[in-house]
Chain A
Amino acid sequence: MDTFFRVLLLQDYNTRLVVIGTVLLGIAAGTVGSLLLLRKRALIGDVISHATLPGVAIAFLLMIILGGTGRWPVGLLVGAGVAGVAAAAVVLLLRRTTMLRDDAAMAIVMSTAFGVGIALLGVIQDLPTGNQAGLESIIYGKTATKVRADAIGIGLAALLVVLMAAALYKEFRLLCFDAHFAGSQGWPVNTLDIALLLLGTAVTVIGLQAVGLILVLALLIIPAAAARYWTDRLVQMMVISALLGAASAWIGVTISALVPRMPAGAVIVLSAAGFFVVSLVFGSRCGLLLRFLRALRIHRRTNRQHILRAIWECQETSETVRVQDLINRRSWTRREVDRLLRKARRRGEVSFHGDHVVILSDHGRAAAEVVVRNHRLWELFLIQHADIAPTHVDRDADAIEHVLGVELVRELEAALGPDDLLPSSPHGLSGGTS
């Protein structure tokens, strides 16, 4: 328990360093990831990150040939960066010069580059002088305790990336939302695209140390995709995405430091995935719950209006309205009708006379009249202006009656000029309507 709070409250100097470093990485990835997602380049991060493997291997071999040990981290990271940018460039070139689509170009470049990397690793493994122990860790990332040495470098580089993204904010916004417009306004679209790819490569390369090359893509994609469920505005999206990235990084590093044998990268990614699921469900822009509730509300309103109109129309043709008459009007079951009637009674819109006779209350009559009126106005409109036969208009009006706004009703009144307050039905009301 003691260690738990020590780690959580950053009392340990080493933990503090690692947490700050990875949190800054999460912020940088979230910021750049938002831009890449909106530019529909989310998966280019996958190509870049896989291509860093041959870059690191080549840098390692070069350094050995030049007489070093091959372990100089800056050299390895430069190799990774150069290879990442080169791979992204080949993808762009393939897209320009062949009829292949993005996905194929990315898959080919990614797998070939990774193959080169694995083949070179195979060579390095067998070198009498070589020891690839340092290289393996870039594939899966190191555990939190081992990231320590690189934490300061990671943090500084991430900060630089965030500042760059902020400095080019206006340009990137234009690029992400309307590249053609940006081009027509004289913005250097190609240069900006390359700048964005460079930022993506930078995040990938600095993320290699912490989360490894396969999972660094997750840091670029998942927080950004989660942020999309909360907002429509780019600046808010970047901030939310950066916060989610930072929170995932913090949680990941903390758990990795507390629980034995927990790879930091994988825990960071799973935390981010957790935030994503929460956003997907509860997001305030188009979260599933919100959309479900909205659909439910519409469904309820539609049902209420259907039952009211059915009662009204039965009333017009006969003295008493029996439940069986209502069931015959639409394709609904007895159980549904009973349920809808019960709800209507709770709202005080109908009352029962005996077991089977339904009576509209004053309140219910007013509500039903509005629905029936909307329905018939639309039917009249279809007959008069869309040349549809009176026998065919009922179904169309049935769908639209629920969404006619006050203004549209007023326009219909003006266009049709009905004689009565409530026009009579243009078609017979006996039998079912559908």
Chain B
Amino acid sequence: MTWMTGLDDWVVALGVLAAFACALPGTFLLLRGMSMMGDAISHAILPGIALGFLVSGSRDNLWMFLGAAIAGVVTAVLTQVLHRLGRLERGAAMGVVFTSLFALGLILIVQTADHVDLDPNCVLYGAIELAPLDTVMILGMEIPRAVPVLVVVGLINLLVVVLFYKEMKISAFDPDMARSAGINAGLMNQVLMVMTAATCVACFEVVGSILVVSLLVAPAAAARLISDRLPVVLILAVIIGAIAAALGHISAITVPGWFPGGVEDTSTAGMMAVLAGVLFGLAWILAPRHGLLVRSVHRLRLQVRIVSEDALGLLFRSEERGDTMSPSRVRRTLVTLADAGPLAARLAVSRLQRRGLVYREGSAWRLSEAGRSQAAQVVRSHRLWETWLWRHADLAADHVHDQAMRLEHVTDDKMRAELEAQTDSAMLDPHGRPIPSPAPEDGNQGESRPWKD
């Protein structure tokens, strides 16, 4: 990798600016469930760009921008019209509009290829690598022409979001509530559409019209998975987009070199989209509350708690029968009876040992004092529920076990007391087995009543 000052740093700067401009409308598109609108608009600006070329006959930035902006707004309006007036599902309406416009643009470009030098690839993929070479003089400094465009669009987006923050927030989360609060949700929607169109147009030169979608949606979605608060989501989306843009360019000029084949670099715009996707993937897995990892750990911990309670109940019942169980038999029974996964069963058994609730005696497993007292409460919940279900829910005595197996894990002291009251302090469950007595009032879990008395 050879970093060229004055070229590569401008590429990164352009990418970061594009990411900044995209993140703000992208977040609101995401919240309104209209992320594909970015896709539709970025495809549909093709005929606008082509017409801009035809009218001006040159690669004049202003005409192109105007044509594309008009095409973008037309897309949004037509989609809305087909959805409302044509009673077409929104996704389908979008699909009809943008594919038709894209086809129109393609024909315009191919037909006029003699007159104007316009490559549809440049529109689709962007030409960020070349953008730093196309410069203008501003305040005596030579800077890429795309920089002021992106800065202006980004600042306008920021201004709109700051000015209409409350309105846009309510309209995004609850359009009906917005309407009842006197906010014109429809107008806010139009503002968002114009913002999206302008951003797509400003960015298509840099990252290509299709990859604009990536910068619009992926950073916002990643931020949404990380946080539930809108201001945080907005700021995170900007940061994630900027990181994706910077890392995207760096990997575009390094990663291909890792492989044999003699290729040194690849499309920066492509790699920016890939990096945005990768960062989203990381958020999907690692996000603090909604991430896959955290959620599966939560689920496993809950499962382990339930399975270890089942194990305590199992040992308690076998003690009642004057029987003993070996650790492997406990695990097997848990897997078959309590429907526990082998991993959860193993973790549950080691959890019980670690907490000193069970101990080994020869080949058998025994409950310690503390273990027996906890187990008694689990079995007490179970048998109270069986009695209650049998008496009050009109379930047959041989049908209450499965229900009680589930309910016993979510029953606390207060509920047990209530169940006891409602079952007239029954001594025996429907199967004729004794219901263990309640835990001591002082909350001393280490002892159960017979010892206290």
Contact of B270 among A99, A103, A116 (CB under 8 A): A116
Contact of A104 among B89, B106, B221 (CB under 8 A): B221
Q: Interface readout for B130-157 with A: 1 if CB under 8 Å, 0 if not? A: 0000000000000000000000000000
Whether B213 contacts A110 by the Cβ 8 Å rule is: yes
Whether B43 contacts A107 by the Cβ 8 Å rule is: no
Give every chain A residue within 8 A of B269 (Cβ-Cβ). Answer: 115, 118
Whether B213 contacts A222 by the Cβ 8 Å rule is: no
Is A97 an interface residue, CB under 8 A from the partner?
yes
Give every chain A residue within 8 A of B221 (Cβ-Cβ). Answer: 100, 104, 108
Contact of B39 among A97, A99, A107 (CB under 8 A): A107
Whether B256 contacts A43 by the Cβ 8 Å rule is: no
Is B73 an interface residue, CB under 8 A from the partner?
no
Give every chain B residue within 8 A of A225 (Cβ-Cβ). Answer: 88, 92-93, 95-96
Whether B103 contacts A218 by the Cβ 8 Å rule is: yes
Tell me the chain A residues, 20-72 only, with Cβ under 8 Å from chain B.
37, 40, 42-43, 45-46, 50
Whether B92 contacts A221 by the Cβ 8 Å rule is: yes
Of A107, A139, A261, most buried by chain B (CB within 10 Å of CB) is A107
The stretch among A122-130, A310-318, A325-333, A374-382 that forms the contact with chain B is A122-130
CB nearest to A136 among chain B residues:
B121
Separation in Å of the A198 CB from the closest CB of chain B? 20
Measured between alpha carbons, how far is A116 from B290 in the docked complex, in Å? 26
Contact of A222 among B38, B96, B266, B267 (CB under 8 A): B96
Is A434 an interface residue, CB under 8 A from the partner?
no
Of A40, A102, A262, A266, most buried by chain B (CB within 10 Å of CB) is A266
Is B85 an interface residue, CB under 8 A from the partner?
yes
Whether B39 contacts A127 by the Cβ 8 Å rule is: no
Whether A119 contacts B110 by the Cβ 8 Å rule is: no
Separation in Å of the A276 CB from the closest CB of chain B? 6
Is A404 an interface residue, CB under 8 A from the partner?
no
Give every chain B residue within 8 A of A79 (Cβ-Cβ). Answer: none
Whether B107 contacts A266 by the Cβ 8 Å rule is: yes
Whether A269 contacts B290 by the Cβ 8 Å rule is: no
Given A111-B213, A280-B86, do A119 and B270 touch, yes or no (CB 8 Å)?
yes
Separation in Å of the B276 CB from the closest CB of chain A? 7
Separation in Å of the B236 CB from the closest CB of chain A? 15
Give every chain B residue within 8 A of A97 (Cβ-Cβ). Answer: 284, 292
Measured between alpha carbons, how far is A117 from B269 in the docked complex, in Å? 11
Whether A98 contacts B225 by the Cβ 8 Å rule is: yes
Contact of A270 among B38, B104, B224 (CB under 8 A): B104
Whether A42 contacts B263 by the Cβ 8 Å rule is: no
Is A228 an interface residue, CB under 8 A from the partner?
yes
Tell me the chain A residues, 79-127 only, with Cβ under 8 Å from chain B.
94, 97-104, 106-108, 110-123, 126-127
CB nearest to B104 among chain A residues:
A270
Whether B88 contacts A266 by the Cβ 8 Å rule is: no
Is A263 an interface residue, CB under 8 A from the partner?
yes
Measured between alpha carbons, how far is A110 from B209 in the docked complex, in Å? 13
Is B13 an interface residue, CB under 8 A from the partner?
no
Whether A100 contacts B225 by the Cβ 8 Å rule is: yes
Whether B103 contacts A108 by the Cβ 8 Å rule is: no
Give every chain A residue within 8 A of B284 (Cβ-Cβ). Answer: 94, 97-98
Given A98-B284, A270-B107, do A214 and B273 touch, yes or no (CB 8 Å)?
no
Is B390 an interface residue, CB under 8 A from the partner?
no
Given A40-B89, A111-B277, do A103 and B95 touch, yes or no (CB 8 Å)?
no
Is A273 an interface residue, CB under 8 A from the partner?
yes
The stretch among B28-36, B64-72, B323-331, B381-389 that forms the contact with chain A is B28-36
Measured between alpha carbons, how far is A183 from B221 in the docked complex, in Å? 31
Whether B35 contacts A43 by the Cβ 8 Å rule is: no
Is B94 an interface residue, CB under 8 A from the partner?
yes
Whether A107 contacts B266 by the Cβ 8 Å rule is: no
Given A40-B91, A114-B273, A221-B92, do A107 and B261 touch, yes or no (CB 8 Å)?
no
Measured between alpha carbons, how far is A288 from B81 in the docked complex, in Å? 12
Measured between alpha carbons, how far is A108 from B283 in the docked complex, in Å? 13
Whether B270 contacts A118 by the Cβ 8 Å rule is: yes
Whether B217 contacts A111 by the Cβ 8 Å rule is: yes
Is A215 an interface residue, CB under 8 A from the partner?
yes
Is B63 an interface residue, CB under 8 A from the partner?
no
Measured between alpha carbons, how far is A46 from B42 in the docked complex, in Å? 13
Give every chain B residue within 8 A of A261 (Cβ-Cβ). Answer: 110-111, 113
Give every chain B residue within 8 A of A102 (Cβ-Cβ). Answer: 33
CB nearest to B107 among chain A residues:
A266
Whether A215 contacts B103 by the Cβ 8 Å rule is: yes
Whether A104 contacts B217 by the Cβ 8 Å rule is: yes
Contact of B103 among A224, A273, A280 (CB under 8 A): A273
Separation in Å of the A240 CB from the closest CB of chain B? 15
Give every chain A residue within 8 A of B87 (Cβ-Cβ). Answer: 286
Q: Interface readout for B5-49 with A: 1 if CB under 8 Å, 0 if not? A: 000000000000000000000000010011110110001000000
Whether B214 contacts A112 by the Cβ 8 Å rule is: yes
Given A118-B125, A122-B270, A221-B92, do A111 and B276 touch, yes or no (CB 8 Å)?
yes
Given A42-B89, A118-B269, A119-B274, do A269 and B103 touch, yes or no (CB 8 Å)?
yes
Whether A42 contacts B91 by the Cβ 8 Å rule is: yes
Is B447 an interface residue, CB under 8 A from the partner?
no
CB nearest to B33 among chain A residues:
A101
Whether B96 contacts A276 by the Cβ 8 Å rule is: yes
Is A175 an interface residue, CB under 8 A from the partner?
no
Is A265 an interface residue, CB under 8 A from the partner?
yes
CB nearest to B101 among chain A residues:
A273
Contact of A119 among B94, B111, B271 (CB under 8 A): B271
Whether B85 contacts A265 by the Cβ 8 Å rule is: no
Given A112-B273, A214-B102, do A118 and B92 touch, yes or no (CB 8 Å)?
no
Whether A112 contacts B218 by the Cβ 8 Å rule is: yes
Give every chain A residue within 8 A of B103 (Cβ-Cβ). Answer: 215, 218, 265-267, 269-270, 273
Separation in Å of the B43 CB from the closest CB of chain A? 7
Is B264 an interface residue, CB under 8 A from the partner?
yes
Give every chain A residue within 8 A of B58 (Cβ-Cβ). Answer: none
Give every chain B residue within 8 A of A230 (Cβ-Cβ). Answer: none
Contact of A217 among B35, B99, B280 (CB under 8 A): B99
Whether B100 contacts A270 by the Cβ 8 Å rule is: yes
Separation in Å of the B435 CB from the closest CB of chain A? 39
Separation in Å of the A196 CB from the closest CB of chain B? 15
Give every chain B residue within 8 A of A99 (Cβ-Cβ). Answer: 224-225, 290
Give every chain B residue within 8 A of A127 (Cβ-Cβ). Answer: 261-263
Measured between alpha carbons, how far is A263 from B38 in the docked complex, in Å? 25
Whether B262 contacts A128 by the Cβ 8 Å rule is: yes
Is B211 an interface residue, CB under 8 A from the partner?
yes
CB nearest to B276 among chain A residues:
A112
Measured between alpha carbons, how far is A43 from B40 in the docked complex, in Å? 10
Contact of B100 among A108, A122, A229, A269 (CB under 8 A): A269
Give every chain A residue within 8 A of B86 (Cβ-Cβ). Answer: 229, 280, 288
Is A172 an interface residue, CB under 8 A from the partner?
no
Separation in Å of the B50 CB from the closest CB of chain A? 12
* 6 more A-B residue pairs beyond the given contacts A46-B95, A112-B276, A123-B263, with a C-beta to C-beta distance below 8 A: A98-B284, A99-B290, A112-B274, A220-B95, A221-B96, A288-B85
The 9 closest A-B pairs by CB, nearest first: A115-B273, A112-B277, A118-B270, A122-B266, A218-B99, A111-B214, A119-B270, A269-B103, A122-B267
Chain B interface (Cβ < 8 Å from any Cβ of A): 30, 33-36, 38-39, 43, 82, 85-89, 91-96, 99-100, 102-104, 106-107, 110-111, 113, 120, 124-125, 208, 210-211, 213-214, 216-218, 220-221, 224-225, 252, 256, 261-267, 269-274, 276-278, 280, 284, 290, 292
A selection of 22 A-B contacts at a CB cut-off of 8 Å is A42-B91, A43-B91, A43-B92, A46-B39, A50-B210, A100-B30, A103-B36, A106-B35, A107-B216, A115-B273, A116-B277, A118-B273, A119-B266, A121-B270, A123-B266, A126-B265, A127-B263, A140-B106, A218-B100, A221-B99, A262-B111, A266-B106
